[in-house]
Amino acid sequence: MELNPIITVNGLHFSYHKNTVLDGIDFSLHRGEVVSLLGPNGCGKSTLIRSILKLIHAKKGEILINGKMINDYSHREIARHIAYIPQYHNVPFNYTVLEMVMMGRVSKLGFFASPSKHDREIAYEALTKIGIDNLHSRPFGQLSGGQKQMVLIARALTQEVNTFIMDEPVSGLDYGNQIRLLELILELGSHGYTFLKTTHYPDHALLVSSRVVVMNKGKIIADGKPNEVITSEMINKVYGIGADLVSHDNRTYCFPVFNKGVL
């Protein structure tokens, strides 16, 4: 693993009005990691992501990308280092899948430049790598939620970067598409891609992460290997519920413990 991190966050503070959301965050992301940001609603996960993408501006602390202060980057320049993959969404125009994927080339092109044959080839290669090249002519708006998420990952690949940020990528997906998406993240991670993703699900973090960072009330309360960080005690502290951790076939799974007789 590289000594120099891709992303460095030092002493980051952020507040909405007088409500503190990030309270002294120190964080780093190194090449080749698959890092899950785990925590309850309102703990600051999405705010940290938005700060790293320069979508909001913290008043205290610093963020560096490849050792350079984030304020020295334009949004186009950030897109040459990091690809943001949002939750799947609908678009106002009925773009085809190929057109959606080619939008990932924007950071490589001038404002008024048209995509070249080379850009189209890169888009097709991304679709093939994800395994959805058969959808290239389909209208994006007619795809399932899982298919849309795969298209957005293919779009990120066309940016020709190795670092992906995902905010709750499985939100709104059915169980099958959740697992297929996690398998894809695991596969890309095994080929050297770097991921920072937020999640509500401890079991998902256990399945695909090389590292888990737990946030609660605006602070990072744990950071380390998944099996060491995700414990029954941590689940109870963060979510206020009981949970059992069970190992099977070299994997660890998290199961909630239901409180009998609560009614």
55 and 182 within one domain:
yes
Spatial contact of 233 and 221, defined as CB atoms under 8 Å apart: no
pLDDT tens track for 14-70: 998 888 999 999 999 999 999 999 999 999 999 999 999 999 998 899 999 999 999
**Consecutive H or E run containing 8:** strand 7-16
Domain count, the chain: 2
pLDDT at 172 over 50: yes
Report pLDDT for 58.
Answer: 86
Report pLDDT for 177.
Answer: 86
51 and 14 within one domain:
yes
Burial class of residue 63, CB neighbours in 10 A (0-12, 13-18, 19+): buried
Of 121, 143, 159, the one marking the end of a domain is: 159
Mean pLDDT for 215-226 is 96
Query: Residue 189: which CATH number?
Result: 3.40.50.300
> How many distinct helices (H) and strands (E) make up the chain?
9, 12
Residue 6 lies in a domain: yes
Residue 146 lies in a domain: yes
Cα gap 67→50, rounded to integer Å: 19
Q: Give Cα separations from 212 to 59, 82, 231 (angstroms).
A: 26, 20, 12
Residue 122 lies in a domain: yes
Residue 86 lies in a domain: no
Question: Which two tokens mark 139?
Answer: 């209208």
pLDDT tens track for 66-100: 999 999 999 989 999 999 998 766 676 788 999 99
* pTM for this model (two decimals): 0.89
Within 10 angstroms of residue 70's Cβ, the number of other Cβ atoms is 20
**Going by C-beta distance under 8 Å and a sequence separation of 6 or more, which residues neighbour residue 246?**
252, 253, 255
105 and 58 within one domain:
no
75 and 22 within one domain:
yes
Residue 202 lies in a domain: yes
Cα gap 140→137, rounded to integer Å: 9
166 and 155 within one domain:
no
69 and 187 within one domain:
yes
- Give 15's strand partners: 20
115 and 25 within one domain:
no
Residue 196 lies in a domain: yes
Report pLDDT for 1.
Answer: 45
Give the percent of the chain with pLDDT over 70: 94
142 and 234 within one domain:
no
Question: Which two tokens mark 82?
Answer: 């990091």
- Give 219's strand partners: 216
Nearest to 2 by CA among 26, 32, 37: 32
Spatial contact of 58 and 64, defined as CB atoms under 8 Å apart: no
pLDDT tens track for 105-143: 887 776 566 778 888 899 999 999 898 999 999 999 888
Report pLDDT for 261.
Answer: 60
Of 117, 142, 159, the one marking the end of a domain is: 159
Of 128, 144, 159, the one marking the end of a domain is: 159
128 and 34 within one domain:
no
Residue 209 lies in a domain: yes
Spatial contact of 7 and 52, defined as CB atoms under 8 Å apart: yes
Domain extent, residue 114, equals 91-159
109 and 49 within one domain:
no
Residue 107 lies in a domain: yes
Where in 95-185 does DSSP place strands (E)? 163-167
Exposure b/e, 3-18, CB count within 10 A at least 16 = b: eebbbbbeebebeeee
221 and 147 within one domain:
no
Cα gap 145→167, rounded to integer Å: 15
152 and 256 within one domain:
no
pLDDT at 2 over 60: no
